[in-house]
């Protein structure tokens, strides 16, 4: 007679496949990135396992979960670049009534309208070296240097089209033995070569 072991889990849980846990992409995740994934899975559970792709989590909620505020942005870029999450709708900063949080999708969990369990973009990272470079580049990306950010090609301009003008103190500079003072501008903008 064969006995079957039946285990009853009395609470919600979040599962991750062994394939994903053993992947190169998962292996290079920073602690902050792993905590963000945990917090997003908690949010998905709070939505009854639904609304993946519309999960609102604020920076304050990530911080309350134990993630340093300065680590949130780099960890989010890292998770996106490695294919674990997608920001489906970027949030908007502003005053309390106008501010909106980012909306997230966990790529290895089902979403409405998907025929498969998840899109699992993390599978495109094939080697440990590729994973390391992708994660490092994403964490280091900034608004000034967006390379690797969200896996998108950066849009770089030919420099700042609105450079700040130089401000001169109006001090005169000593010249050699020539005895001449350098040309200066008075407040009206006219040239002045008067010798004091």
Q: For residue range 78-97, list pLDDT tens digits in order.
A: 999 999 999 999 998 877 78
Residue 139 lies in a domain: yes
Whole-angstrom CA distances from 72 to 35, 37, 80, 93, 156 are 10, 11, 12, 15, 24
Helices (H), 54-127: 59-64, 69-81
Q: Where are the beta strands (DSSP E) in 32-135?
A: 55-57, 85-89, 102-106
Tell me the whole-structure pTM to 2 decimals.
0.68
Residue 127 lies in a domain: yes
For residue 41, what are the domain limits? 18-146
Q: 8-64 pLDDT, tens per residue?
A: 777 888 889 999 999 999 999 999 999 999 999 999 999 998 899 999 999 999 999
Q: Are 91 and 101 in contact (CB under 8 A)?
A: yes
Residue 34 lies in a domain: yes
Domain count for the chain, please give it.
Answer: 1
């Amino acid at each position: 007679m064969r006995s079957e072991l039946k285990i009853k889990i009395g609470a919600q849980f979040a599962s991750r496949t062994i394939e994903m846990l053993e992947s190169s992409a998962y292996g290079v995740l920073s602690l902050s990135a792993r905590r963000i994934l945990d917090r997003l899975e908690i949010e998905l559970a709070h939505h009854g396992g639904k609304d993946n792709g519309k999960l609102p989590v604020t920076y304050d909620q990530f911080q309350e979960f134990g993630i340093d505020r300065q680590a949130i942005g780099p960890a989010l870029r890292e998770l996106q670049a490695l294919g674990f999450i997608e920001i489906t709708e970027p949030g908007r900063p502003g005053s309390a009534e106008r501010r909106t949080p980012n909306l997230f999708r966990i790529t290895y969990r089902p979403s409405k309208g998907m025929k498969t369990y998840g899109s699992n973009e993390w599978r495109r990272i094939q080697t440990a070296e590729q994973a390391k470079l992708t994660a490092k580049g994403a964490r280091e990306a900034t608004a000034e240097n967006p390379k690797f950010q969200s896996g998108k090609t950066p849009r770089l301009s030919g420099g700042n089209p609105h450079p700040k003008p130089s401000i001169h103190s109006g001090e005169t500079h000593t010249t050699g033995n020539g005895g001449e003072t350098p040309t200066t501008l008075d407040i009206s903008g006219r040239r002045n070569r008067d010798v004091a």
